[in-house]
């Protein structure tokens, strides 16, 4: 790298933080510290591994000293979903940038990151004097006790680009982080009932939505998904949206029969669930998370088998897409924008103290992925929501990459949806299908605003879902919706946010259909 710092070398300083003490070391490839050893090898990436016996290890910090050009601007990723907070900024030394970040100055562009599915929660910081990578290996909120095991904490990479646009450079770099993403055979699109129903629905309404979706997509060979969101489960209430997940409530009836009726209307059935939250009295106490007894502990093998059975049940009912939600919040006890450097509150641990939080989350995603495979028919598609995309890439076909849009407030859709679409577009077709969430069509939102959001989303090449209140659209608006569905049903190259370095909500886009300028 000629312009930006090169971190494809041994770091200048390495810090090891345990529950007992913290020590820093200058360089080196093998760093022993009591019964802890950090090993760093440099090939096409900087590979960081950690072994220890009984010492509880918290974090590692790797520091590369090198001047960063004045005037550089930076854009980082997020722990899980975006919350309308992706943006390019100047130097902020304490700004944490989880998983990867980009740097741009004059005509040069650089990317720094760790490859997907590491055994640690990783984030970068950058200041005028260099780059720091923090590798968090905790088990919950306490140190991991590896008992002689070696873990692959991170594979750090960097690259520099010149002579191409910032967005193309960012796409090229992001592709270095994941080489095994999985994707559906055809574009994923359709409807979701959440943003007009908000959990107040029934089998009757779902079948009505299915018929409406079938009408709006008539003649399209690639059939749409009708995704049934929160509200169908047996114990659903205004104050509880958890499991059990093996039976629907009285308003929905036989969930297998409902899926069959949806399919008979020529749509593909999809369903939402929250896998880690279940207050059922028959759940053994040892399955419960130390931090919150209503949440499953994903380090318990029986818990993972229980979740796998839930997935298989949903698939056996006939649902072809499963949206699993809330797992990051349930594990950490906070939303992504609240996690910061602490990630979670308190010194709690998972039941299995020998695995890091990142290891356990990857295994959880693997179990969901494996349970969705079908021997007798097409695999069930997995759409993550409130998931950690960097740990789930390669294990889910789609991921909701931003917080909720809205069927009530346009400002929320603008903040969450458009910002997410622009800045997480880089993961589309590399990590998974990057779902920027729904177009919520109700009387509360100006159609002229929504139709712009609908157009850029339909032309973006990403998953496309609409949540439309029945009876709201007039005939001309229906025709516009039909055209959006037609576009979304076909594969397209990713749209490019042309002004993403100037604004958090880009209004200038280049799509397969041409240049678009919006007034969001």
Do 186 and 222 contact (CB within 8 A), yes or no? yes
**How many C-beta atoms lie closer than 10 Å to residue 369's C-beta?**
19
State how far the Cα of 9 lies from the Cα of 476, in Å rounded to an integer.
60
pLDDT of 491 higher than 90? yes
- Say what the pLDDT of residue 469 is: 87
Identify the band that residue 230 occupies on the pLDDT scale cut at 50, 70 and 90: very high
- Say what the pLDDT of residue 471 is: 86
Q: 388: which residues sit within 8 A by CB, 6+ positions away? A: 79, 80, 328, 361
pLDDT of 185 higher than 90? yes
Identify the band that residue 346 occupies on the pLDDT scale cut at 50, 70 and 90: very high
pLDDT of 101 higher than 90? yes
- CA 318 → CA 44, 235, 251, 324, 379, distances in Å? 44, 21, 19, 16, 11
State how far the Cα of 239 lies from the Cα of 180, in Å rounded to an integer.
39
Do 475 and 438 contact (CB within 8 A), yes or no? no
pLDDT of 331 higher than 90? yes
pLDDT of 377 higher than 90? no
Do 485 and 458 contact (CB within 8 A), yes or no? yes
pLDDT of 28 higher than 90? no
Helix, strand, or coil here: 232? Answer: coil
- Say what the pLDDT of residue 470 is: 84
- Say what the pLDDT of residue 229 is: 96
Percent of the chain with pLDDT over 90: 97
- Biggest distance spanned by C-alpha atoms of the chain: 73
As a whole number, mean pLDDT of residues 240-248 equals: 96
Identify the band that residue 62 occupies on the pLDDT scale cut at 50, 70 and 90: very high
Tens of pLDDT, residues 125-179: 999 999 999 999 999 999 999 999 999 999 999 999 999 999 999 999 999 999 9
Tens of pLDDT, residues 399-458: 999 999 999 999 999 999 999 999 999 999 999 999 999 999 999 999 999 999 999 999
- Say what the pLDDT of residue 95 is: 97
- DSSP state string for 296-329: B-TTSHHHHHHHHHHHHHHHHHT-SEEEE--HHH
- Say what the pLDDT of residue 376 is: 82
For residue 122, what is the enclosing H or E element?
strand 121-127
Identify the band that residue 258 occupies on the pLDDT scale cut at 50, 70 and 90: very high
Task: List the alpha helices (DSSP H) in 201-348.
Answer: 203-216, 255-264, 301-317, 327-332, 336-339
- Say what the pLDDT of residue 77 is: 98
Q: 279-300: buried (b, 16+ CB within 10 Å) or exposed (e) per residue?
A: eeeebeeebbbbbeeebbbbbb
**How many C-beta atoms lie closer than 10 Å to residue 194's C-beta?**
24
State how far the Cα of 403 lies from the Cα of 386, in Å rounded to an integer.
8
Average model confidence (pLDDT) across the chain:
97
Tens of pLDDT, residues 465-485: 999 988 889 999 999 999 999
Tens of pLDDT, residues 42-58: 999 999 999 999 999 99
As a whole number, mean pLDDT of residues 67-86 equals: 97
Do 466 and 161 contact (CB within 8 A), yes or no? no
pTM of full prediction above 0.85: yes
């Amino acid at each position: 790298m000629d312009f930006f710092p090169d971190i494809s070398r041994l770091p200048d300083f390495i810090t090891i933080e345990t529950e007992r003490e913290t020590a820093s070391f200058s360089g080196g490839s093998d760093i022993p510290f009591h019964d802890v050893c950090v090993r760093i090898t440099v090939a096409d990436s900087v590979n960081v591994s950690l072994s220890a016996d009984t010492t509880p290890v918290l974090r590692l910090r790797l520091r590369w000293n090198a001047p960063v050009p004045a005037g550089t601007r930076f854009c980082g990723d997020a722990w899980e979903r975006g919350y309308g907070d992706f943006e390019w900024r100047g130097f902020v030394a304490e700004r944490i940038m989880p998983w990867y970040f980009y740097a741009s100055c004059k005509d040069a562009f650089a990317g720094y990151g760790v490859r997907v599915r590491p055994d640690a929660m990783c984030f970068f910081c950058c200041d005028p004097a260099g780059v720091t990578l923090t590798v968090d290996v905790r088990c919950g909120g306490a140190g991991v006790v590896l008992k002689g095991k070696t873990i692959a904490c991170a594979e750090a990479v960097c690259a520099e680009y010149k002579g191409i646009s910032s967005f193309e450079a960012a796409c090229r770099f992001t592709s270095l982080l994941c080489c095994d993403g999985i994707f559906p055979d055809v574009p994923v699109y359709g409807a979701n009932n959440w943003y007009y129903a908000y959990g107040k629905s029934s089998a009757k309404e779902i079948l009505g939505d299915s018929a409406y979706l079938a009408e709006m997509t008539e003649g399209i060979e690639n059939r749409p998904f009708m995704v049934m969101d929160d509200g169908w489960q047996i114990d659903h209430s205004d104050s509880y949206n958890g499991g059990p997940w093996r039976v629907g409530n009285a308003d929905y009836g036989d969930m297998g029969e409902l899926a069959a009726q949806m399919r008979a209307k020529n749509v593909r059935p999809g369903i939402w669930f929250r896998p880690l939250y279940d207050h059922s009295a028959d759940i053994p106490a040892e399955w419960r998370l130390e931090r919150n007894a209503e949440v499953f502990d994903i380090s318990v093998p029986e818990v993972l088998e229980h979740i796998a059975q839930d997935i298989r049940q949903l698939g056996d009912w006939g649902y072809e897409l499963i949206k699993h939600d809330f797992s990051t919040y349930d594990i950490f006890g906070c939303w992504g924008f609240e996690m910061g450097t602490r990630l979670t509150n308190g010194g709690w641990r998972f039941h299995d103290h020998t695995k890091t939080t990142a290891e356990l989350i990857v295994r959880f995603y693997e179990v969901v992925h494996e349970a969705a495979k079908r021997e007798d028919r097409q695999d069930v598609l997995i759409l993550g929501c409130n998931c950690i995309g960097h740990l789930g890439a390669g294990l889910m076909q789609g991921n909701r990459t931003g917080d909720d849009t809205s069927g009530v407030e346009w400002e929320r859709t603008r903040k969450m949806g458009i910002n997410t679409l622009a800045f997480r577009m880089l993961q589309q077709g590399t990590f998974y299908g990057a779902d920027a969430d729904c177009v919520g069509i109700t009387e509360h939102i100006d159609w002229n605003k929504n139709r712009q959001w609908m157009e850029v989303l339909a032309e973006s090449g990403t998953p496309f879902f609409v949540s439309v209140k029945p009876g709201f659209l007039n005939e001309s608006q229906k025709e516009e919706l039909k055209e959006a569905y037609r576009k979304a049903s076909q594969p397209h190259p990713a749209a490019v946010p042309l002004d993403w370095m100037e604004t958090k909500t880009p209004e200038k886009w280049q799509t397969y259909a041409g240049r678009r300028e919006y007034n969001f």
